[in-house]
Structure 1
Amino acid sequence: MTAQQHDRVAYPAARVGTRTWRWFLLGGIPVVIAGILLGPAAQEAVYAAFGAAAAVAVVAGIRAHRPARTLPWWLLAAGMACGALSNLAWSAALVLGGPPAGLNVINAVYYGMYLLVAAALAVLAGPGRSSALAGAAEAGIVACTAAVLAWVFLIDPVLRSRDAITGGFALVYPVLDLILLTMAVRLAVAAASLTRTHLLMLFGTGVLVLADVGYVLWVAAGGPWSGSGGSAACWMLFYLLVGAAALHPAMATDRGAAPIGGYLRSPRLTTAAKALIVLVGPAATAYAFWRDLHRQDFDLLDITVPLGAAAATGVLLVLRLSHTSTLVNRRATDLQAALDDQAALQEQMTHLALHDALTGLPNRLHLDRLVQAALSTGDAGCLLMVDLDGFQHVNDSFGHPTGDALLTEAARRLREVIGRAGTLARFGGDEFAVLLHDGDCLAAEPHARAILRTLRQPVEVDGQRLHVTASIGMRDLATAADSAEVLSDADLALYAAKAAGKDRVIAYDVTLRENQLKRIAVVDRLRGAIGTDAIQVYYQPIVSFSTGRFTAVEALVRWVPPGEATIGPDAFIPAAEDSGLIVPLGEQVLRQACRDAAVWYRRYGTLLTVNVSPRQLSEADFAARVMRALHDADLPAAALILEITEGVLVGAGAQAEQSIAHLSELRRFGVQVAVDDFGTGYSSLAYLRDLPIDILKIDRSFMPDEATGDPAQQVALVRTIVDLAHTLRLTAVAEGVETMEQTAVLQTLGCDKGQGFHYGRPAPAAKTADVLAEGVTAPAAR
């Protein structure tokens, strides 16, 4: 239900008021015109009818609109009732024998209408936007000015008129009008907002005052006591305006009546009005003095009354201006306090915009400005980009609060190392930056080494002993064009330090940028090659030491651009990993290998081994993709072996959990899992025991070879790995077998299978098919 519909349901009477106030006002205008033409007794009866209608309209408005404060409206209804009763009594008296002489009850009741209307205006103003002193001062100024005008132009002429008795009673009207006018001004000044109801009331009050002024002037000029047609019309119109104000929905100002009347409070209009008021007293006094001289009948009251009222007006103006000055000073003080608060808030926001919330260090934007300032002034310096090695593992294993504590401690240590030699900043995550203010990268290297040493020290957090290292990239400011170049080059050096093994410092060299451009070019070309015949799959045989026959082939990717030499995986696989292209590339290799191996498996029972990237395992639908590839090639799941690296299984966090879930699901369908390059990574017994693997592939660096190490030690290591694999019921496969002697050693140690150049180099599918068809047995030791 909309707000408008709610109002229609909850306040049906309000809809009546909305439709009737105009009709009440417009419908009475013809009666006003007709009433002007009637005689005194009939006019009094019409006045009574208008008063009664206004009283009924006020009561109806109270019931229809339910204003928050009903007191002013009940006072107004009582005033209208007084007007109706007194006018009805006057009409009856005129019909029965003429108007009663002197002040009587009928007059008193009629005068009571003025007082009740004035009280209603006073209560209607209520607490508003101005103080009580301001409203009283404004009302007093208007009252004094009106008193001056009333004395000079109304009271004094009436007192001098020939009908002193009637004129004396007529003088009551200016006094009552002065009260009404004072309350009307207070309402206009003090009300929080002037609604249409307020304006109708103010207009009605003005019409009544105008009628009374005309009446007094009419009587003073010798006119009949019943007044002129203009006064009669204004008296009737006054009742209509009061009734319309009560019927208007804006009488309930707390129900969303739109405030209007801002033009009435225009500073220019207010200033002009007050200037005119100041001039009224002296001008009226001068006029009264000139009039007495012209009549040759000087009256002291004609001077003292206007001057006294003018003096009172001046005092009230001074009080009002003093009050205004106090308000201005108070608001100026409040404004200054607000400006101070805003300045402090602006400073705080600027600090937050330029500093890291966790460590309080300057952030990337702040450091960028410092670097740009140093470049613009030609100052020497060096930028160090520092990245924590292994931080993600800490975050995944122990949670972000522990990670935040580690970052805070790292920031503290970096502050101690750098001191005043430079500015330390945090770029976000586990990345920090140091801007050394003096010297080049050669001079900055001792600081970089000190950073590496301090970050190698373990950190105690909530009983956990955490170990991290750092990689650092350095860039000299001397040859840089702008801050963007400095930051980009330092990032390249940091990337190189990570790629070189971490826990080290590398300074930027132009070759790093050249290598990056080459990687970008490789990625761009590779993106176009994926999905075409330029990506080819080669196969290297895996031999069983017990039978000497080929039992499996490993799929190896090759890139063969048209008209160019074959590109080995080492030249493009790292770029594919960094760019994410390894996902579509790996899927293409998997699908092609499954299609090729399907025939070999059916004919010779040859298994297929395919390497899987960690990026592929991070895909949410990896297991489904593998099963689709097997289904589309009609290759049984038991014929597929997926090769992974140790880091995929040992890592913590959601990514590692998802990888393990994928592999566990595939193993339930019969797919086997092999750990590639075993012995060069974590080599944790826990993951060998608990995680979903079937095969250990011993890294080629352990193959016995006098040229690369102590053969006896190498043999001992291989024996340990083979025994470990057999103990855990895993198959041991040796990689990098290149000689007959290595084959003999592996057979002696009980290794299950071998793979290497001794058994065959990687070859295209057609050549591999020929080898498998010939039933070639691998060379064995004699």
Structure 2
Amino acid sequence: MMPSQARTGGDDSLHRWYLGVGAAALVGGALLPPAVRVWVYVALAASLVVAVAVGVRRHRPVWPATWWLMAGAVAMSLLAQVGWALAMGPTGVPRFPSVGDACYLIMLVLTASSIYWWVRPAERRGGAVDAGIVALGAGAVLWTLVVAPMLFNGRFTGLRLGSYVLYAGLDLLILVLTVRVVVISRVRTPAYRLMVVAAGLLVATDTTNYVLLLAGTSHDTLTALGWLGVYLLLGGAALHPSMARSTGSMPANPSPASRRRLATYVSLTVGVSALSIVSFAAALPASQSARLIVPGILGAAMSVLLIVRLSQLATLLNRRTHLDGLTGLGSRVVLQDRLDEVSPQHRVLLLVDLDGFRDFNDAFGHQAGDAILVETGARVRAQVPTNATVVRLSADEFAVCAPAADDDRDGSNMAERILAAVHRPYRVRGLAARRFGASIGAVALPAGQPCAPALRDADLALRVARTGGGDQVAVFDPAVHAERLANAELVAQMHHAVEAGEFEVHYQPIIDLATGDVAAAEALLRWTRPDGTRIPPDRFIPLAEQGGAITTIGAWVLRQVCTDLRRLWSEHQVAVTVNVSAHQLRDPLFAAHLLSLLDTSAVPGRALIVEITETVLVTSVADAATVTAQLQQLREHGVRIAIDDFGTGYSSLAYLRELPVDILKMDGSFTAHQIDNGGTREIAFIRAILDLSRSLGLVTIAEAVETDTQAHRLRALDCNLAQGYHFAKPGPVADLHTLLHKHSRPAPVTAGP
């Protein structure tokens, strides 16, 4: 429900009262003498200014520019009425020129500006051809009925003639801009319709006024009804609740060959041809004018046929744009048009993705794949209401926009029916029966509201269904969208954080369990915002991996670690371990850059230990040669390689055999659970990891040691090294220097026996 519609019913009735009272004033005012009628004009104009102000205040349109311009135009109209009233002569006709004439000119300019700004500035494209056609047709009518007689009959001269021609030109501009709005605006609200009718009535009334002036007949009553009607319609539009969503709309992209548009083009063509024939006939002798009739009629007929032919071509092109050539379903354009409609009904949007189709298509070819898609489209169509819109969005992705049943507002029941239909075996000539699953994302579309984000929300739900293993239905959860927005914002802030110096490297000592000496330290990244807020590493590092920011952040960490290592190594001979991501290792120049950093910092390779996770080993299979080459190049220069979180991933003995690895870092979950609470089996598993490490000549580091009991048991199991809060918390490099000064003999990290 729109905010303006959520208020009490007073808003809905106010515009009716205004239109009712105004209609009474319109009828009564038209019957009054000219000297009195002008003050009725003034009263109605003043009420319109108030109506616009009240409407903008109550309904708060998102794009109010056109309404304020309209208010300015009405205010100038009010001043024009006052000016004409003060300039009224004894005959009841205002003297010319007067202040009223200048104000009326400004009023026309502001009205044209208001209509021009009906659509947001960034969304003005479109409608130029239609507006040009109307300009030519209406211009021909205006020239024949108004401008040409004014210029050539000698009734008006000088400034009065110039002002009348200028007024007529501005009326034509208002008509053309109104047509443009009708063509490109997607809204069809009551307020919109009232405004369009008011603009048309203004142009029609002014034109009638000019024609009657030229004829020298009385025109007061007729034109008074027209102008008062314009005020009345605009006031009703301003007070109607729908005025809040009647401006600022995006282009509607209507069908270029609609019957209404075709009829308009044909009417204008015939009308202009008829006016041309009449004008020539009036200007030439009777003997000559008859010769123009047949060519004129033939020319008009040719123009009409050309319009019809072009409309047929446009219809054909439009069909190709709106239909999927393979399945006969609608296209994305059709779906977008449905979503752009503000429906009075609750609706649902479903995105259906065929699981496993791409593999099937690659294995058996496009002909078999096309048969599956055609059958899937038919099955989806059969499971939804007849008034639903079913389209094919991409290769194997379909979409359904359908009215929501009272017992199925989120569309989950409809999605389950589609899922069951897809599960049935597919029979393709020459192949055994095949079964497919489907991932379906569903989102509810509330009644009476625009559905601009619907596709995005349904796609988020579809991703949830896919990541959950497929062959399931996921309903859009606003919390998921909010989390994604927060994550995207956090990724954007990371790049700024590097430049702003919000990141800091902390170091946690690694202890030799046999001697208690500091053997090394692990570099850990910390992020503190200027307001003191700390972002946990497990919050931002995975997002940095996903969003690509990890490459920039990782490069900064390596530079900072190499800078800190210069003193740590020269004073204490302490090595530092640092995590490297899969994104960094895929760069063929990574090892060269890192070795260059070490050389610039005057730090030997053995002072640095590069940590990689088991996930890197698995996800980088396609880049195994590159990863291995990078690690081998580093190891040849003394840099040691450690596998972090060992025991929780999917690495195998083959990785330990083929990759140049020196250190295993046993995941902290073994320390926290299996040592404290484990029985014989759990302790045996830890002992197996330690035995494996020793047999391969590797060093083992136990992570997350938090109690003396854990340290004692690891020592009893002959574990080499350990780190955790039991020994020291991570801290700035200065804290590490303080701790190292207490130990005269650092214990080097070396390979196992």
TM bucket by the smaller chain? 0.3 to 0.5
Q: Could you tell me the TM-score, scaled by structure 2's length?
A: 0.47
Q: Which has the larger radius of gyration?
A: 1
